[in-house]
Structure 1
Amino acid sequence: MLEQMNDQSRAPSSNALSSGAWLKTYYYLRFAVSAAWVAAAFTVAKSSPPVAAIMLVAYPAWDALANYVDARRTGGLGRNTSQLLNFVVSIITAIAIAIALGHSMNAVLSAYGVWAVVSGALQLVTAARRWKTNGAQWAMILSGAQSALAGLFFVKMAGGTEIIGIANIAPYAAFGAFYFLVSAIWLSVGDARRKSTRAVS
């Protein structure tokens, strides 16, 4: 009986550690993919419309996949409503961008703008929910808020006369990469400190 109680008391801690380890990996992966996307946007895609078109559709599609996998690894889609919604919104956005590419880059930027507002708000909700269990979510909250603001700017810009290309969207992805890296490092430093404290005690 005592052993069962000990096992039960250790389970939440074990789950928390597992969740924290996954979250670090997840944030580092999101940073790496976003950074690679930004680099390609400013180099290869800038002078190749077909590559730019593929990348513009792939970015929200990747976000959908990432949210789906993350939700599955942290309790399932049923327990992560904000990520489920983000998954659906990102899939719809990828389809909308594929259609908008047949019209104009202004239409593409409008789609990105709406997506940035909605996905940013949902990311903020996800980060706020995770604060209690994982901590170090302030960067993700800032990222969600900034995403929403950037989305409003995109929508306004899409209504103007400026020539728009993938390079206009790349800074948005760059800021996202930065916040993912900050969150990953913050979690890593926190883990290192806790291990050091346990070793000393």
Structure 2
Amino acid sequence: MNEPHVDIARAQEAQWLKHYYFSRGAFSLLWVALAFSIGLHSAGIAAALFVVYPAWDALANFVDMSRSGGAAANRTQALNVVISLVTTIAVIVALGAQGTHWVLDVFGVWAIVSGLLQLGTALRRWKRFGAQWAMILSGAQSALAGVLFIVQDHAATPPAIAKVAGYAAVGAIYFLISALWLWVGQRRAAAAQA
């Protein structure tokens, strides 16, 4: 039997994770809406959105890593923070050098690496919280999408922003499913205790 303080700590961590997943999903949905409504019509807005997406991922992973025991306890997230920051810089360089074609290559490599790191984080969390199957699928899908970005980087249509927005939309769905799954699990646990 677990000690009461261990159960309370686990419940607080699960609560944080639920809020984190909802926040990630909401941000991604907002990003997708901006990409499809404005980014398709403005190269400047599309460029800004390309830079913001990996920067947000770095920040979100950093905050989650910090709230979940720090870098030593969350090596996959620590690596994801670094990879996402490097990607942010690489996107800026690619936009200045070659435009959106190189951006898809950068996003492709990032999606592969960050997807595999997300998969690792989800597998580690599965042992503690369960409810990570959507994050496992998301990590695997991200890696696959990265390969497709690289293969399609020079295809004229749809525009690069639409390709990345589709990827972000699927990611948002996975984050929201994970948050809802944790919420349902918390409800069931509360009902079982009542």
Q: Same fold (TM over 0.5)?
A: yes
Distance 2:163 2:47 in 1: 14
Deviations 1:59-82 (A, max 9, x none): 000000000000000111111000
Q: Which of the numbers 104, 114, 121 marks the counterpart of 1:109?
A: 104
Partner AA of 2:43 in structure 1: P
1:43 corresponding residue in structure 2: 37
Q: Which of the numbers 116, 119, 139 marks the counterpart of 1:121?
A: 116
1:59 and 2:57 correspond:
no
Distance 2:116 2:160 in 1: 25
Q: How many residues were matched structurally?
A: 192
Distance 2:150 2:160 in 1: 14
1:142 corresponding residue in structure 2: 137
Q: CA deviation at 1:18?
A: 0.9
Q: CA deviation at 1:9?
A: 2.1
TM-score, with structure 2 as normaliser? 0.96
Q: Which of the numbers 8, 15, 26 marks the counterpart of 2:20?
A: 26
Q: Which of the numbers 74, 77, 102 marks the counterpart of 2:71?
A: 77
* Structure 2 unmatched ranges of 5 or more: none
Moved more, 165-174 or 92-101: 165-174
Distance 2:167 2:79 in 1: 21
1:88 and 2:82 correspond:
yes
2:191 corresponding residue in structure 1: 196
Structure whose CA Rg is larger: 1
Identity %: 51
Distance 1:167 1:76 in 2: 35
* Structure 1 unmatched ranges of 5 or more: 1-7
